[in-house]
Every structure is written in C-alpha cells, then in structure tokens.
Amino acid sequence: MILEQYYIECLSHASYLIGDESTGHAVVVDPRRDITDYLDDAREHGLTIEGVINTHFHADFVSGHLELLEATGAWIGFGKAADADYPIRRLAHGEHISLGEVDLEVLSTPGHTWESISLLVREHPDATPTAVLTGDSLFIGDVGRPDLVNLGDGSNTDLARAMFRTLHRTLLALPDSVTVMPAHGAGSSCGKNLSAELTSTIGEQRRTNPSVQPMSEDAFVALITDGQPAVPAYFSVDAALNKATHAVLDQDRHIPAMTPEQVRHALSSPDIRVVDARSVDDFAAGHLAESVNVGFDGRFAETGGMVAEVGQQIVLISYPGEEQEAAMRLARIGSDNTIGYLNTTTDCTFPAELADLVRTAARTTVSELDKLLADDAITLIDIRNPGERDFGVIPGALPIPLAQLTARLGELPTGKPIVVHCAGGWRSSVGASLLRAHGLDRVSDLVGGYNDWADQHIPT
C-alpha cells in the first residue's frame, strides 16, 4: 500500500494519494488545484489515478477534482448527500472501493457538512484498519465546526448534533491503533484548536482531544458552536465553486512582470488590489500607497482571500523569486486573476518612477499604547478571533476579527487615530494597511501585538 500525505502550511491543508502497488490503481483524496505533485508521485510509483474523492465540499480552498478529471479522466466521488453540477459518484456508508488488495471503506460522517465522509484504509479487505482519512470531521485536537456550509434545511445545531453522533458512534468506535489523517491542521478556520501534528491515532485523540471527552450532547453542541474563528467571506464563494463546473487551473501559468507605469495605474484603479507580500518590517519601512500588506511568510492564501475578493484583479509586490508561488497560493482559493508583479530591489527600494507613492507605516509600541489609552487618544481595534480573546484582552479594545474588517468599516469611530492589534503583529499589519487602503489615514499597528502587551502587563 502507498499512502502519501501532502501538506501545505499556507492553507493548513492535507491531501492524500492512496495506491496499490500490485495493481497500480490509485485515488487522490481532497486534492488542491495544483496537481503536479500527485501526477509526479503516481508516475514514480507506477500508479494510475482512477478516482478523486472529496470528503466534503470544501469552503477554504478550491479543490482540484476538475483538474485531475481533465488530466487523468478519473471519476469524482462525494458522500451520498452531495449534489454537484458535474457527474459524481455518490459514495454510501459501508461501501468498499477496491484498489486491488488495498481496500477503502466509506464512512458517512456528517457534522461539518451533511455530505461529509471519512475513508477507512486497509492493506487488504480482512486486515485491521491502518488509517482513517477524516476530512474535516475529526481533527488532531479538535473537530470540524458546523457553521461553514449548511446543505439542506438543517441548522448549525442540527449539524453539531450530527457531529456528536459521528464521533461517538462511528469514528471513536474504531480501534485505538488506527492512524487519524485529517484534511486540515493548526491555523485552519475550519476549527478552533487544531494541533500542529499532522497525524495521530484514535486512541490518542480519545485521551487528549477536548472535543471528544465524555460530555452530554448539549454540552458538545455548546462547545463546538462557541468561539470559532470568523469566517472569511470567500469561503461561501469557494464552497459554491466546488459544487459547480468551472475553469480549471493552468498548471504552467506564469504571471508577468509589470512596469512602474502599469503598477501606478493599478494603484489608481478601484477594481485592482495591490498586495504587498513582503515582511511586516519591510512594508512598514517603505511601501506603495493603497497597497495592502499580506506577508508571504504567514497565512498568505487565506488572508489574501480576506483582502481581495475571489475574481478581483491582483498585482503583487514581492521579493525576487517569490511572485509565482504567491500567485499560485492565491489561485488555490480561486483568486486566479493575479495580473502581474513588481519586485523590489535587494535593499527593498522601489523604482524611481514610483518614488512619489512610497509611504511608511506608523507603528505603535506597547509603552506608547499605554499612554495613548490613558489619554483616551485612540480607538484600539482587536482583530483576533473570538477564541483568541478568551485568553485575554487589552481593556477598551473594540473586537472586529480581521475576516470581518472590510464589512464592518461603518462601525469604526472616526474621531480619533486608530491602532490595530492582533496576537503577534503579522495580522495587524494586514488590518492597518487594509484600513489605510480604504481611506483611513491615521492608522497604526501594535508592534508585537497582544503577546507583547501581555508580557508587560500580566504576571507570569
């Protein structure tokens, strides 16, 4: 048996290639749109990809099932409750998919969505299960949230109750030795307490996962419906794309370099978003007016979806050599319209033709923040997610998660300068630059974020 995991940090996403060496039959599970890795590895192992299985309709990225269909002719499988605009193979609970000796058993595991399934993997039909691919049902350290994509007439509470049954009747009924291989890891908005570990076991999750400890169904519902990360607006767009027939991604695409004049035009256009993918410090030291800082070193894809709508034209400002990968990361969430890029020079300066557009970003230290708050001289905005605020807040901060910032601009007081803070200082640069791009000129971000503030104000 061949069982390969493919994990990408920028989306905290895991996909899988499962194959039988004796027959050469293989399937790919929960693929991303850039499918070269799956094709190359299948070729190396002498496998033919015959099927593509999505454990559910993903909301945080555009799945690569149509790309694999075009490249291999593979059938596309979903849970029995799924409904799509393209032909699919509906997989029922208890159904077996034979790759030869390797056997996959379909488990209906609703809760994250109604059509959610998991795949139980055996090296041969009579063997003890080796692994279970749980999609967004059972994570390492948490379970999937029930409020992203509701199918049918059910409510979030209905989905949460379905998840309770999925866990205790199906997944936790598996042997302790079965390896748990989910579709997401730490940082994903599909849950709130996901571990950085990429695999675990049923037994380990039974012992350590807070969401599967003994509790009443009502207590479980309350636990998983409270404190979830704010949902980026693009999630509903991606969920719809994954149900529809849409254009496939060009695997060999190459975005072009832009001239300073073209970049100037992009900055003046309300229909184009200029995304600066450099570090927070370099952006603060010098950036182009109206550009938004989404550092390539962080959760670039998901955060890019918070500052630019899917389908909107995007121009990238980047370090040399990072622009093509940055464009691909955006394409993974359906943002295919990156029209070009501009690299800064090795000392992070811009072309002389754009010198009049270069700005610095105001930043506020913790000691400066204390004085400003004491004088009631600013509006402080906390752009962390609800679950993060449970661990502590800066008194007086207005909570607006980053994913909701654009939609809630009208709630911001305009009479005072604004300071934006997150946990460590990466997201606050995104938020502050996004506010400046929307015309608010007295905006800074808190250096070091809540973590630095807490270090100076809360005893260990």
DSSP states of 192-229 as a string? Answer: SS--S-S-EEHHHHHHH-GGGSS--HHHHHHHHHSSPP
In angstroms, what CA-CA distances link 336 with 155, 235, 253, 328? Answer: 32, 15, 10, 8
Whether residue 151 is predicted with pLDDT greater than 60 in this model: the reply is no
Predicted local confidence at residue 229, as pLDDT:
86
Q: What integer best gives the mean pLDDT of the chain?
A: 95
- CA angle 223/229/231 to nearest 5° reads 120
Nearest CA to 52 out of 101, 8, 15 is that of: 15
For the stretch 92-132, pLDDT in tens is: 999 999 999 999 999 999 999 999 999 999 999 999 999 99
For the stretch 68-95, pLDDT in tens is: 999 999 999 999 999 999 999 999 999 9
Q: Is 422 a catalytic residue?
A: yes
Residues making up the chain, counted from first to last: 460
Site of tokens 């030291």: 285
What homologous superfamily does CATH list for 260-359?
Rhodanese-like domain (3.40.250.10)
The rounded percent of the chain whose pLDDT value lies above 70 is 98
Is the whole model's pTM more than 0.85, yes or no? yes
Residues of the chain with CATH 3.60.15.10: 2-243
Question: Considering the domain 2-243, what is its CATH architecture?
Answer: 4-Layer Sandwich (3.60)
Nearest CA to 144 out of 119, 118, 122, 107 is that of: 118
Residues of the chain with CATH 3.40.250.10: 260-359, 363-457
Distance CA 276, CA 287 (A): 8
Predicted local confidence at residue 192, as pLDDT:
77
β-sheet bridge partners, residue 460:
none
Query: How many Cβ atoms are within 10 Å of 88's Cβ, its own excluded?
Result: 18
For the stretch 194-233, pLDDT in tens is: 888 999 999 999 999 999 999 999 999 999 988 888 889 8
Q: pLDDT class for 150, splitting at 50, 70, 90?
A: low
Q: Which listed residue (10, 190, 348, 422) is catalytic?
A: 422
DSSP 16-72: EEEE-TTT-EEEEES--S--HHHHHHHHHHT-EEEEEE-SS--SSS--SHHHHHHHH
DSSP letter for 162, please.
H
Whether residue 428 is predicted with pLDDT greater than 90 in this model: the reply is yes
Q: pLDDT class for 191, splitting at 50, 70, 90?
A: confident
Whether residue 189 is predicted with pLDDT greater than 90 in this model: the reply is no
Q: pLDDT class for 152, splitting at 50, 70, 90?
A: low
Q: pLDDT class for 276, splitting at 50, 70, 90?
A: very high
Predicted local confidence at residue 96, as pLDDT:
98
Predicted local confidence at residue 227, as pLDDT:
83
DSSP letter for 175, please.
-
Predicted local confidence at residue 241, as pLDDT:
96
Q: pLDDT class for 154, splitting at 50, 70, 90?
A: low
Predicted local confidence at residue 460, as pLDDT:
72
Indicate the fold that domain 363-457 takes in CATH.
Oxidized Rhodanese; domain 1 (3.40.250)
Q: pLDDT class for 289, splitting at 50, 70, 90?
A: very high
Predicted local confidence at residue 195, as pLDDT:
86
At 40, phi and psi to the nearest 5?
Answer: -65, -45
